[in-house]
Amino acid sequence: MANILMTRIDNRLVHGQVGVTWVNYLGANLIVVANDEVSTDEVRQNLMDMVVPDVIGTRYFSIQKTIDVIHMAADDQLIFVVCDTPQDVLRLVEGGVPIKKVNIGNMHFSEGKEQISSTVSVDEDDRKTFKRLHELGVELEIRRVPDEKIEVDILKFI
């Protein structure tokens, strides 16, 4: 079974908080960015790789490829999965990826979304998706950085 330490939802995908702070806190040695667009965008991949220490591996897979290959991870790979949206996480979980905990770090505000914390805004589809993840036994938390207290009880909003 893949050693997935945590999965994070962050519209920015990999940046300083993810590539350094969370990786160090979790003890991860591999970041898997599960995102259909970034999986084929070498420029964005290279930009994200710039903030990740050289000793940490990065992989940029589509959602389907992540589902197909995650079970082939080596025992010594300590994996931090990063996704753009809760819908992507749900696709992974329904595809058999053993995700137990999701950290919701950043979901930008846009038209039709309600801001539920300083960095997280949701619409009705997001609420339904979080509810489904919760029903599937996935632990959900909103937290920007590891040493921050959980800001909002997401379950109040689903």
DSSP 120: B
**Residue of 15, 71, 108, 134 with catalytic role:** 15
Beta strand 121-122 pairing with 139-142? unpaired
In single-letter form, the type of residue at position 93 comes to: V
Q: Specify whether 108 is catalytic.
A: no
Q: Name the residue with tokens 């309600």.
A: 114
CB 107 within 8 A of CB 9: yes
* Rounded Cα distance, 144 and 74, in Å: 29
* Rounded Cα distance, 103 and 119, in Å: 12
Active-site annotation, residues: 15
